[in-house]
Amino acid sequence: MPDLAVGARRWAVEPGSNLLDALNAAGFAVPYSCRAGSCHACLVRCVEGEPLDINPTALNAQKREQGWRLACQCRVENDLSVAVFDPARDGVPAEVIGCDWLEGDVLHLRLAPERPFRYQAGQHLVLWAGGVARPYSLASLPQDDPWLAFHIDCRYPGAFSDAARALQIGDPVQLGELRSGALHYDPDWQTRPLWLLAAGTGLGPLWGILREALRQEHQGPIRLVHCGVQYWREPLEEMARCHPPLQVEGFEAGEVPSMRLQSRQTMALLCGSPASVEMFSRQLYLAGLPRNQMLADVFVGRSV
């Protein structure tokens, strides 16, 4: 049987064992969320040996060259020594500078990183707080905001949501892996209708993308649809007043917005739970929008 080692500790595991499961079974508490190679919460660095990586494209080439792997996507076939991600050593320190509670138990968290942090609207970032990690989409815009902002759904108990509830101004938070999902604004869309469809805190990244589109002087009509708890109404209403081409619509959970297209050139960006994104996608497809004109990021819970 192959040996798996972390630091001075070494133990035997069954051939083909999932690396994440083997580490957690041994008590190393490697965080994870999606187990699909998307969230990047389970980073480990190979010190000696190489696991079987079933999803090598999930990490960029630079990260892989540095020895980083996603534990959930790796199997232990031969002797392997790894170092688990240490937020104090491998992360970027940040400080809580704002934590406001919005409607529906949504936390508007704002962080000031210790050093300049480059990102784009629509990207997401692994946050470490209270010894636990979770990926969250950025709700800020780097050109306008002197902080990193996040909309965190704290309605239900969870390791990170419980830690987030305890955060206060001045508390330290570590920033982990930054990565891009499907959501972004492309200047080539400038004259096309743009639909932003959010469920719950899926509004966070779309708020950043909306501001990026307006910053780049988007010329086509913009429709923003928000389903679920209406926790960001005043900023959205103010934005619509200042930018008449923007139409903002709010719907309670369970309500289905109309998806009648005015143009087949529409670009649609979708964000929220798997069920919500699937509902949006199905309605848009039935309305005649091609799948390649829909970009989606799905918020997958830990239990999935």
At residue 19, does pLDDT exceed 70?
A: yes
Reading the block at residue 48, the tokens are: 């000696």
Domain 91-179 class, CATH top level:
mainly beta
Mean pLDDT, the chain, whole residue set: 93
Domain 187-298 class, CATH top level:
alpha beta
| pLDDT: which is higher, 34 or 139 | 139
Q: Which of 19-28, 172-181, 288-297 has the lowest mean pLDDT?
A: 172-181
pLDDT-above-70 percentage for the chain: 98
Q: Which of 31-40, 156-165, 259-268 has the lowest mean pLDDT?
A: 31-40
At residue 35, does pLDDT exceed 90?
A: no
CB neighbour list of residue 299: distance below 8 Å, 6 or more residues apart = 137, 200, 201, 202, 271, 272, 273, 274
Say what the pLDDT of residue 303 is.
37
Average pLDDT over residues 4-33: 93
Domain ranges in the chain are 3-85, 91-179, 187-298
β-strand pairing of 80-84 with 3-6:
parallel
DSSP code of 80? E
pLDDT tens sequence across 196-251: 999 999 999 999 999 999 999 999 999 999 999 999 999 999 999 999 899 999 99
Say what the pLDDT of residue 302 is.
46
Note whether 3-85 and 187-298 share their fold: no
Decide if domain 3-85 falls under CATH 3.20.20.100. no
Say what the pLDDT of residue 301 is.
57
Average pLDDT over residues 128-137: 89
pLDDT tens sequence across 84-107: 988 888 899 999 999 999 999 999
Phi, psi for 274 (deg, rounded to 5): -55, -45
Q: Which of 7-21, 31-45, 98-112 has the lowest mean pLDDT?
A: 31-45
Say what the pLDDT of residue 179 is.
84
At residue 304, does pLDDT exceed 60?
A: no
Question: How would you class 224 by CB atoms within 10 Å of its CB: exposed for 0-12, middle for 13-18, buried for 19 or more?
Answer: buried
Yes or no: say if 234 and 100 are a contact pair by the CB < 8 Å rule: no
pTM above 0.95, yes or no: no
Say what the pLDDT of residue 291 is.
94
